[in-house]
Amino acid sequence: MGYDTPWGYAMRTVKKHDLEARTRILNRLKRLEGQVRGLQKMVEEDRDCREILTLLAGIRSALEATGDLIFETYLEECRADLAKGQGDTKAIVEAVRLLRG
């Protein structure tokens, strides 16, 4: 049982490794959410510009690292499927294009 991703790639049934990766990703996203809320509060409180920019830089870095983890996890799933004769290289190329923006 699975579902289709935006790239037409069918996700497999979730395995232990997949659950661990998903948990790491979700934990990072929750931390990011807290940081963004903190940034919003700092702006609302008219805090020092330097403090705001420091937090903003940290958020950008954390978001980039989280995006890399999501992408690496997706590529690992694609690689495993290709090794089994399943999957589609076009989906990988499309994912890379989307990530480049």
Distance CA 42, CA 52 (A): 7
pTM above 0.75, yes or no: no
Domains of the chain: 16-99 (1.20.58.1000)
The tens digit of pLDDT for each residue in 10-47 reads: 555 556 667 888 899 999 999 999 999 999 999 999 99
The total of other beta-carbon atoms located within 10 Å of residue 22's CB is: 13
What 3-state class would DSSP assign to 47? coil
